[in-house]
C-alpha cells in the first residue's frame, strides 16, 4: 500500500494543494484570492504555504502592481506530481475506487 504524503495530508494543506491543482500549469493565483476561496485567515494560510514552499510544492512570486505588493502562488512541477501521487495513493488506500 502506498503511503500518503504527510506534507499534503494535513487538512489545510490538502485544501491549498487541491485549489492550486485546478489551475493550469502556467497559472497562478493571488494570496488574497486563495485566502477568500479557502476561507482561511492570512496567518493560517501563510503557515501552511510555508510548509508547502519548503517542500518545493508551491512557488511564491512577489511583485508590485501600481505600488501595491502582490503575492502570486502556484504549484510547482514537483508539487503537481506530489499531488498526483497523493491522489493515487489515496485511491489505492480506498481500494481503487474512483
Q: Which residues contact 45 (CB under 8 A, 6 or more apart)?
A: 12, 16, 31, 34, 35, 38
> Residue 98: what pLDDT?
52
Does the domain at residues 6-93 carry the CATH identifier 1.10.10.10? yes
Residue 12 is placed in which grid cell?
A: 489545510
The structure's pTM equals 0.91
29-75, pLDDT tens digit by residue?
Answer: 999 999 999 999 999 999 999 999 999 999 999 999 999 999 999 99
Domain boundaries, the chain: 6-93
Amino acid at each position: 500500500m502506498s503511503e500518503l504524503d504527510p506534507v499534503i495530508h494535513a487538512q489545510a494543506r490538502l485544501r491549498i494543494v487541491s485549489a492550486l491543482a485546478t489551475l493550469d500549469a502556467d497559472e497562478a493565483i493571488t494570496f488574497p484570492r486563495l485566502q477568500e476561496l479557502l476561507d482561511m485567515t492570512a496567518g493560517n494560510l501563510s503557515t501552511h504555504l510555508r510548509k508547502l514552499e519548503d517542500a518545493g510544492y508551491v512557488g511564491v512570486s512577489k511583485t508590485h502592481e501600481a505600488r501595491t505588493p502582490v503575492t502570486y502562488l502556484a504549484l510547482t512541477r514537483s508539487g503537481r506530481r506530489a499531488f498526483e501521487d497523493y491522489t493515487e495513493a489515496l485511491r489505492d488506500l480506498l481500494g481503487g475506487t474512483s
